[in-house]
Amino acid sequence: MTEREISASYQPGWLTGQVLLAMPALRDPRFAQSVIFICAHNEDGAMGLVLNRMVRKPKFDALLQQLGVEPHPPQRELPMGQGGPVEDHRGFVLHSADWTGEGSLNVDGAHVLSASMEVLQAIAAGGGPGQARLLLGYAGWGAGQLEEEIRQNSWLTVAADDEILFDTAYQTKWQRALAKLKIDPGMLSGDAGRA
């Protein structure tokens, strides 16, 4: 492929709803072995949520109490994770499309991103989306930055599925996501090449 053909294959929006998998050579401790769901990708950049980093504190019920969300204790709990290094005090609920609220972002028809108190109140009351997780912070890239990182062989992409997005087996998520591509992590090279 020529450089022009490679650039044409990276059209704005093509990563929305995809999962990024960090290549083994990516040593940045914030992203090493990360699994990231891309919620938005356009000509201005990209925004995603890291799916395989746990948050030990605060616990979900303590966070709801801190925010004044009733009822307390909540009738339903959500798994929580560290969504990324940007605005790590801000919460995002990634969830199934069976529930939406004001300001919710429909990512790909099957998955929705909500950042309002409304979704937390619905979950605390025992309702809300069927599948959901709360993530603190996000990962962000400026215009063209993520495409360049992919060209430099920092990331692989795989289609999103609910197991990868919503399960809480954080320690094996990266390996399981690579297995969906039929890739053995030990066989990956950190070198980028062009044919």
**Residue written as token pair 């690579």:** 178
Distance CA 128, CA 194 (A): 47
Burial class (CB within 10 angstroms; exposed 0-12, middle 13-18, buried 19+) of 101: middle
Cβ atoms within 10 Å of 126's Cβ, excluding its own: 10
- Between the CA of residue 164 and those of 37, 172, 180, what are the distances in Å? 9, 10, 10
Adjacent-strand bridge partners of 157: 20
**Residue written as token pair 């919460």:** 91
Q: What is the pLDDT, as a whole number, of residue 14?
A: 82
Half-sphere exposure of 75 (CA within 13 A, CB side): 10
Q: What is the pLDDT, as a whole number, of residue 6?
A: 39
At residue 133, the 3 state secondary structure works out as strand
pLDDT tens digit sequence for 81-125: 999 999 999 999 999 999 999 999 999 999 999 999 999 999 999
Adjacent-strand bridge partners of 95: 112, 132
Query: In order of start, what are the domains of the chain with their CATH numbers?
Result: 3-90+137-187 (3.40.1740.10)
| 147 phi-psi bin (left φ>0, alpha ψ -120 to 50, beta other) | alpha
CA 36 to chain centre: 4
| Low pLDDT (below 70) residues in the chain | 1-12, 186-195
Q: What is the pLDDT, as a whole number, of residue 73?
A: 87
Q: What is the pLDDT, as a whole number, of residue 3?
A: 40
Distance CA 12, CA 153 (A): 19
Burial class (CB within 10 angstroms; exposed 0-12, middle 13-18, buried 19+) of 131: middle
Q: What is the pLDDT, as a whole number, of residue 100?
A: 95
